[in-house]
Structures are given as C-alpha cells and as structure tokens.
Amino acid sequence: MKVSPSLLSANFANLTPEIEMINASEADYLHIDVMDGVFVPNISFGFPVIKAVGKICTKPLDVHLMIVEPEKWISQVRDTGAWLMNVHYEACTHLNSAVARIHQAGMKAGVTLNPSTPVCMLQDIITDVDLVLLMSVNPGFGGQAFIKNTLKKTRELKKLILESGSSALIEVDGGVNETTGKELAEAGADVLVAGSYIFGTPNPEERINLLKGLR
C-alpha cells in the first residue's frame, strides 16, 4: 500500500519537525489540501505555504485542490514543485482540457470525486488520468467519519480501470484508519490519505508503517 499523510492535520505552528518526520518515514507522498471557502466550507492555506513545505519535503507532493476553477492555477501549482495535481470532477467544466494542461505543465493529473459523484462519470477520461482520488468524507475538514459506500465505489473504479486498460492509481481520502484502510486495501485502493490518524498520535511513523503493511 502507498501512503500519503495529509498535512492538514499537522501542527501549523511548527511544520518543520512534521515534515522531517515525513521525510524520515516510509510515507510515499505528502498530501496537501487547498481549500477556497467556495468549493468547500473552509479555507486552509495557499501557494506560499506549499512552496515553503516543498523546499524541505523530500517526498513527492500530492496536491488536492478543493477550489472552484482549479485550471486557473496550474502554473502556480507547478511552481510549488508538485508531483501531482488533483482537481475535482465537480469543479471542472472542461475536465479533458484541464487534465491535458496539467500534463503539459509536467505534472501527473488526478481527478477527485465527491462522495455523491458516481464512478461512471469517469468512463470517458479514465485512460487519460494518472490517479483517481475518491473522497470518503465530504471535503473540507479532517477528522470526519468514513463513508462506507466508498468501498463499493473503490471496487467499481478498480473494475473500470482494469476493463479500460487504464494505469490510474486509486487513492482514497477521509476517515482512513487501520480498519477502514484494511477494507479499502481489499477493495482495490492503491494509495491511502490519512490526516488525523497519522498526526493525531505521539508515534505517527508507527501508523504510517501500519497503513503501508495493508494488502
């Protein structure tokens, strides 16, 4: 299993030791949640913070934009050094062009689905994307309970990927812990995002290892 700890649950008053912990850990990526107060009812942080984090983080940045019109910000995301830019299906009128432009900017392209958006909406773009992020909570806040229906969506997405010949990874975000993580691994998830489960304990590396060991 690949693991992407979510910076949203880190200590914003002292980020350096948090990033150093991630660098030294078995984590595969660092998940960065950008919120605009419009697409979601919350505001997190913006490009200057991501750039500063990117300078000291040795793991690839997996940037999750919970904002309207994310395609307006492709070059700013690229300038943070991001490895992957995740845009919401619900926020992009012209998703095909957004994905192409993310690739042109030299990044991997991810498409994110809200809990109420069905997997079949990706049928005509699945072979163009590098990753699909399934939200297992309504986006905007850390620490929410896992929405069980995501297990069914993960299985449906796995089937769509296999049948289409896509090489997209399946990432799941929200309410991930060792129990939901195990169920997601069995359903076909490739990457688990976890915020409060990892940062809310005195021994975050142990939890990263626990998620990494899920099959």
Pick what 197 binds: Zn ion, ligand DX5, none; C-beta below 5 to 8 Å, kind-dependent. ligand DX5
* C-alpha dihedral (119, 188, 21, 202), degrees to nearest 10: 100
**Site string (173-192) toward ligand DX5, x via CB under 6 A:** xxxx----------------
**Cβ–Cβ < 8 Å for 89, 123:** no
Kindly tell me which of 54 and 174 has the beta carbon lying closer to ligand DX5: 174
Pick what 62 binds: Zn ion, ligand DX5, none; C-beta below 5 to 8 Å, kind-dependent. none
Question: 114 to 143, contacts with ligand DX5 by CB under 6 A?
Answer: 137, 139-143
The DSSP result for the chain, as a single string, is -EEEEBGGGS-TTSHHHHHHHHHHSS---EEEEEEBSSSSS-B---HHHHHHHHHH--SPEEEEEESSSGGGGHHHHHHTT-SEEEEEGGG-TTHHHHHHHHHHTT-EEEEEE-TTS-GGGGTTTGGG-SEEEEESS-TT-SSPPP-THHHHHHHHHHHHHHHHT---EEEEESS--HHHHHHHHHHT-SEEEESHHHHTSS-HHHHHHHHHT--
Is 110 near ligand DX5 (CB under 6 A)?
A: no
**Cβ–Cβ < 8 Å for 70, 88:** yes
Kindly tell me which of 33 and 130 has the beta carbon lying closer to Zn ion: 33
Total residues binding Zn ion (CB under 5 A): 3
Q: Which of 28, 36, 130, 173 is catalytic?
A: 173
Total residues binding ligand DX5 (CB under 6 A): 22
Q: Which of 18, 28, 33, 36 binds ligand DX5 (CB under 6 A)?
A: 33
Question: 146 to 205, contacts with Zn ion by CB under 5 A?
Answer: 173
Kindly tell me which of 12 and 104 has the beta carbon lying closer to ligand DX5: 12
Active site residue 190: no
Active site residue 33: yes
Is 88 near Zn ion (CB under 5 A)?
A: no
Q: Which of 107, 197, 210, 211 binds ligand DX5 (CB under 6 A)?
A: 197
Instruction: Please tell me the chain's helix, strand, coil percentages from 3-state DSSP, rounded to the nearest 5.
Output: 45, 20, 35
Q: Which of 28, 33, 36, 190 is catalytic?
A: 33
Q: Which residues bind ligand DX5 (CB under 6 A)?
A: 6, 8-9, 31, 33, 64, 137, 139-144, 173-176, 193-197
Q: Which residues bind Zn ion (CB under 5 A)?
A: 33, 64, 173
